[in-house]
């Protein structure tokens, strides 16, 4: 399975271009923090080693146009996609190997709760005036909403009966 999920900050403004056929191609580099302990982070910084990875990311079509329109250097973005490897010959005849992320889905992450004013449910993105910080939404997306009424006791009705425990292990 080739799936990748990344959360990071744009290292520069997205670069939006168009193919000869008119298809939009948006590319950018995402700074993704390495999960280092405080001690290892300080050690890496003192030795001028990177504390983040910088994968190149590409989005095609309307998704790429949306990213280019609404995001700038330093803003956070969550992406889901796949890893694509390739190679080419440089001017000296050396083979250069590449590893890129081709994006399928994205979520804007904004700490200031600013509204981007964009909705597109087909992209897996839905941002409106009542939006929350991505981390709050993401953390709650797989949990039951506590504000909903929860009648689990009545859900099964009379379909099930209580089993008496005879002390044996059931497996």
| Greater model confidence, 145 or 98 | 98
- With bands split at pLDDT 50, 70 and 90, how would you rate the model's confidence at 44? confident
Question: Would you say residue 112 has pLDDT above 90?
Answer: no
Question: Would you say residue 114 has pLDDT above 60?
Answer: no
Contact 55, 29 (CB under 8 A): yes
Residue-averaged pLDDT of the chain: 76
Tell me the percentage of the chain whose pLDDT exceeds 90: 50
Residue listed under structure tokens 């929350």: 132
pLDDT of 157: 55
- With bands split at pLDDT 50, 70 and 90, how would you rate the model's confidence at 60? very high
Residue 138 to residue 128: CA distance in whole angstroms: 15
This prediction has a pTM of 0.62
pLDDT of 145: 38
Average pLDDT over residues 30-48: 88
pLDDT of 168: 66
Residue 56 to residue 27: CA distance in whole angstroms: 7
Task: Determine the straight-line distance between the first and last CA of the chain, rounded to whole angstroms.
Answer: 33
- With bands split at pLDDT 50, 70 and 90, how would you rate the model's confidence at 159? low
Residue 117 to residue 81: CA distance in whole angstroms: 24
């Amino acid at each position: 399975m080739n799936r990748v999920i990344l959360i990071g900050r744009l290292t520069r403004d997205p670069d939006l271009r168009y193919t000869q056929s008119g298809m939009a191609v948006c590319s950018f580099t995402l700074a993704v923090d390495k999960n280092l302990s405080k001690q290892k982070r300080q050690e890496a910084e003192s030795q001028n080693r990177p504390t983040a990875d910088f994968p190149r990311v590409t989005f095609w079509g309307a998704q790429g146009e949306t990213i280019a329109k609404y995001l700038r250097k330093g803003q956070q973005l969550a992406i889901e996609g796949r890893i694509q490897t390739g190679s080419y010959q440089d001017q000296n005849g050396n083979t250069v190997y590449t590893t890129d992320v081709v994006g399928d889905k994205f979520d804007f992450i904004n700490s200031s709760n600013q509204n981007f004013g964009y909705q597109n449910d087909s992209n897996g993105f839905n941002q409106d005036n009542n939006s929350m910080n991505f981390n709050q939404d993401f953390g709650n997306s797989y949990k039951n909403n506590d504000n909903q009424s929860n009648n689990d006791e009545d859900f099964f009705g009379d379909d099930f009966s209580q089993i008496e425990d005879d002390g044996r292990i059931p497996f």
